[in-house]
A and B are shown apart, each in its own frame.
Chain A
């Protein structure tokens, strides 16, 4: 096993769901193996389930509570602790059932305990493999790839716009080049850690100033961010590529331009970000759009697993991207 493997985050809903799914699948398999005929399957499954579910629920609860302690241990210590915990939990549940319901100790309590240890091992191995598939090295490579995907179209058009200003409005050209330098500094840096929302918004303003240079009045933008928590932490470069998409697909193809609306608000411990732009269905959609969306989706998943989402919707001649990120935990 690699040195720096980490235990899964047992306080994450997505991890809980996966554990439930795997263990119950194993229970189904056990029921199939044990039943001689198919009609015995459901009663057997119910019987197994009545033993498995209490253990599962107790395990999830205690793992949730013990998570802060478990993360302080070394990986192999954590694994051992969890296997011991599960075995012990199984022992307790069986003793409890035997004591209150059947008054007879099961002949061999070691058998279910051994099974529990094996099932725990399988689940931990699953998470180990999953973590390896989404290892930071791979995630970083993906981030790098995403950064390379800033539209060349934007870069060259912006340089062209700045060139047009140098003779007539040198001051404005200076500001524009400074904005560009800031923007590309962020785009080219390593963007692994979460950043405050306010920082991302500032970057977006610089980006939009550059686009305004080219598109002038055609680009209108409305910010509905009064209820925004500026200190919320989000992955960097989530908003800017979405605005770039909105400009490329929603503003540039329209002769009179249009309005991009950005809404940011919190609702029940979640940060919601919505970006919408005008959209004419006849404009053929570039694959670039899907690339950027897919990338952002992947990065959200790397950071927040199932607790975040990215949805798109085309309705009433507008195209909307809606992001949900956990906040305040």
Chain B
């Protein structure tokens, strides 16, 4: 059975080159070609590749983030990164023994990497990828596992993130999603794009229309934030009321 491969690179010549090289290797077939990380994740869900060849520097979503989202796809694809030059990334890969190919790619190196991918256990790879997380300053998307599918939600479409009992609710204009990440970690990662209006809620300032004083359940006056695109308002805790005054 041939090894199914997905290739992702924003430059057409780079994809052509990979296609040429893979044509020279026995027992592989290309099942999909993507122009960026997001496309790669979408296509990987449809085509279930055994191996993804990901360029690192791509628009919309880079290769490192795509590799992390790809860990939610079943069965987990192997990842090999391709890069022309990225001193930091290369150092990180060396430390974590994840395979990468330097462009221009040589046939022998590609062959060796594919053989190595076969040998490497998927679980082992997940752990190694997690070690790359520091390279990722801020994800461009949140990936949500839902009924066997991975949904990608662009960060800029998120109105607010609210902590529930075990999950965090991700609210966009269309609908709500649940993710299993802690609000504290999300705040650490996306702190500059959201503000904390309440102990349990991070709100994107882009969606705040205004503030209003309302009576809450205990019949006390309380400030709430009115949001674009959704009917519900977000209560502002006493400690964050200075934000209202600044507005």
Contacts and interface: CB of A to CB of B under 8 A. Distances in A.
Interface of A: 151-153, 155-157, 159-161, 163-165, 167-168, 213-216, 252-255, 284
Contacts of A161: 11, 13-14, 17
B102 interface: yes
Contacts of B35: 255
Contacts of B14: 157, 160-161, 164, 214
Interface centre among B13, B14, B59, B105 (most CB of A within 10 A): B13
Interface in B130-185: 137
B57 interface: yes
B186 interface: no
Nearest to A256: B59
B59 A160 contact: no
Given A156-B103, A157-B11, 16 more contacts: A153-B57, A153-B84, A153-B85, A153-B86, A156-B84, A156-B104, A157-B103, A160-B17, A160-B104, A161-B13, A161-B14, A163-B104, A164-B17, A213-B13, A215-B11, A252-B59
Contacts of A215: 11
A215 B84 CA distance: 15
9 contacts: A155-B85, A156-B84, A156-B85, A160-B13, A160-B105, A161-B17, A163-B17, A164-B14, A213-B13
B212 interface: no
A189 B166 CA distance: 63
Given A252-B10, A252-B59, A164 B16 contact: yes
Contacts of A252: 10, 57, 59
Closest 3 CB pairs of A and B: A164-B17, A156-B84, A161-B13
Interface string B25-53: 00000000001100000000000000000
B119 to A, nearest CB: 27
Chain A contact residues: helix, strand, loop or mixed: helix
B126 to A, nearest CB: 26
Nearest to B86: A153
B244 interface: no
Interface of B: 10-14, 16-17, 20, 35-36, 57, 59-60, 84-86, 102-105, 137
A143 to B, nearest CB: 23
Contact of A214 (B11, B60, B104, B105): B11
Contacts of A157: 11, 14, 84, 103
A152 B57 CA distance: 14
B17 A255 contact: no
A284 B20 contact: no
A254 B35 CA distance: 11
Contacts of B103: 156-157, 159-160
Chain B contact residues: helix, strand, loop or mixed: loop
B40 to A, nearest CB: 13
Contacts of A153: 57, 84-86
Given A157-B14, A160-B13, A255 B20 contact: no
Contacts of A164: 13-14, 16-17, 20
Contacts of A155: 85
A156 B102 contact: yes
Interface centre among A152, A163, A164 (most CB of B within 10 A): A164
A253 B17 contact: no
A329 to B, nearest CB: 42
B41 to A, nearest CB: 14
Nearest to A248: B57
A160 B19 CA distance: 13
Contacts of B104: 156, 159-160, 163
Contacts of A163: 17, 104
Contacts of B60: 255
Contacts of A216: 12
B84 A152 contact: yes
A253 B102 CA distance: 20
Contacts of A284: 137
Contacts of A213: 13
A214 B85 contact: no
B36 A255 contact: yes
Contacts of A152: 84-85
A279 to B, nearest CB: 13
B44 to A, nearest CB: 18
Nearest to B137: A284
A5 B105 CA distance: 52
Nearest to A253: B59
Given A153-B85, A252-B57, A167 B20 contact: yes
Contacts of A165: 13
Interface centre among B57, B59, B105 (most CB of A within 10 A): B59
A254 B11 CA distance: 12
A125 B13 CA distance: 58
A161 B17 CA distance: 8
A214 B137 contact: no
A156 B85 CA distance: 7
A168 B104 CA distance: 17
Contacts of B12: 216
